[in-house]
Amino acid sequence: MTGPSLCGRGTRPATAWPAATALLVALVVVPACSRPVPPPRSRDEIFQDRLRVPTLYISETSGKRIVTEGGRMNFVDKESGEVCWVAWACHAPNCPGRGPNGEPFLCIEADAGFYAKPDGTVGYDPKRSGRTPKRVGMCPQCSVIRKPESETPEQAMEYSRLVQLHQLPEAVARIKELDEEMARRVEWDRQHTVIGRAKPAAGAP
């Protein structure tokens, strides 16, 4: 480890440590005392950020993968002109679509009623919706091996529970941060609210 030694046994003379201590006080203690702690962001701001975490989308026809901000069920990829859908991951232990290292199969729940309009936005036509290919459950790979006629309602429910929105590793970390920020906001609200009305608090969003 390099840098000045505060105990005076390093390369600097013992008289250097009061100066170092004064510097520490100036850097750490004084700003903390003179600056009021800002209130945490509003619940809505935190919630909006939570929706916008990086999310994987997969295009309907070619299977192109796009990572972009979340919060949308689908959108039109300007390059390919395809509708892209938010990715789901099948965590069924016996899913035939698992990767060589057990990676969950990623799928989309495309509805043929949604189509790309010439202006690059998503349109919806209920008449087209009927053309959506039928499958047993969300995961097309599990749908091949499932026998719905012999499944109990609990087994069918378990299959649907095992297909979850796919979360990218970077989104998992960000969601954890945002959940912690939300917890601080909830606590802040609890401390600044009296029954029936909010306490006046300067700078509260």
Minimum distance of Zn ion from residue 120's CB (angstroms)? 32
Site for Zn ion contains 92 (CB under 5 A): yes
Q: Which of 172, 99, 95, 82 is nearest to 138 (CA)?
A: 95
For Zn ion, the closer CB: 54 or 96: 96
CA distances from 66 to 75, 80, 85 (A): 11, 11, 10
Pattern 158-197, binding to Zn ion, x per CB under 5 A? ----------------------------------------
Binding residue for Zn ion (CB under 5 A) from 46, 86, 87, 90? 90
Classify residue 106 by its DSSP letter. Answer: E
Q: Which is nearer to Zn ion, 50 or 146 (CB)?
A: 146
Question: Contact between 58 and Zn ion (CB under 5 A)?
Answer: no
Host H or E run for residue 114 = strand 114-116
Q: Categorise residue 36: left if φ over 0, alpha if ψ from -120 to 50, beta otherwise.
A: beta
Question: Which listed range, 14-22, 119-127, 136-144, 147-155, lies at the site for Zn ion (CB under 5 A)?
Answer: 136-144
Shortest CB 186 distance to Zn ion, Å? 36
* Span from 49-57, 132-140, 146-154, 189-197 in contact with Zn ion (CB under 5 A): 132-140
Contact 39, 205 (CB under 8 A): yes
The residue (of 16 and 136) whose beta carbon lies closer to Zn ion is 136
**Cα dist. 133→10, 71, 82, 90 in Å?**
74, 25, 17, 19
In the numeric block, the tokens 């036509």 are attached to: 125
Q: Is 139 in the site for Zn ion (CB under 5 A)?
A: yes
What is the binding site for Zn ion (CB under 5 A)? Answer: 90, 92, 95, 105, 139, 141-142
